[in-house]
């Protein structure tokens, strides 16, 4: 699985877009980029995943660079309930490997 690098923490003003970067320069061609988040001490929650193309769902958008070495998770209108640890995971056909993620704090 690809090694990923994320900032330790980020702040975002409520109502603004939150842009969370992830570097995965060693990702291989068949490895997907997955994003999960963990709110307080709850179980992680799936957000979105992608391979090459940008993806959007009801929760977020995922922008993957053309060379696939990095990606950005975008929460278009962050709310206080989006405060959580966000995990970026690069993986093939193997179980998830979680790093320490990015702690996003949404500020009123």
Partner 1 sequence: NAGVTQTPKFRVLKTGQSMTLLCAQDMNHEYMYWYRQDPGMGLRLIHYSVGEGTTAKGEVPDGYNVSRLKKQNFLLGLESAAPSQTSVYFCASSYGTPQETQYFGPGTRLLVL
By the criterion CB under 8 A, which residues form the site for partner 1? 32, 36, 41-46, 49, 87, 91-101
- The C-alpha atoms of residue 14 and residue 32 are separated, in whole angstroms, by 30
* Cβ contact 9:91 at 8 Å: no
Min separation Cβ 14 and partner 1, Å: 25
Least distance to partner 1, CB of residue 25, Å:
20
Q: Give the separation between CA 103 and CA 35, rounded to whole angstroms.
A: 13
Q: Tell the smallest beta-carbon distance from residue 42 to partner 1 (Å).
A: 6
Q: How far apart are CA 84 and CA 54, in angstroms?
A: 23
Choose between 35 and 78: whose C-beta lies nearer to partner 1: 35
Task: Considering the complex, state which of residue 29 and residue 43 has its C-beta at the smaller distance from partner 1.
Answer: 43
Give the residue from 5, 84, 93 showing the smallest Cα distance to 46: 84
Q: Closest CB to partner 1 among 70 and 87?
A: 87
């Amino acid at each position: 699985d690809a090694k990923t690098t994320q900032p330790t923490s980020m702040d975002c003003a409520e109502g603004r877009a939150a842009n969370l970067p992830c570097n995965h320069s060693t990702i291989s061609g068949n490895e997907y980029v997955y994003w999960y988040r963990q709110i307080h001490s709850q179980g992680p929650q799936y957000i979105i995943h992608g391979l090459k193309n940008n993806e959007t769902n009801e929760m977020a958008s995922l922008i993957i660079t053309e060379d696939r070495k990095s990606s950005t998770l975008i929460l278009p209108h962050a709310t206080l309930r989006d405060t959580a640890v966000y995990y970026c995971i690069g993986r093939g056909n193997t179980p998830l490997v979680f790093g320490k993620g990015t702690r996003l704090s949404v500020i009123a």
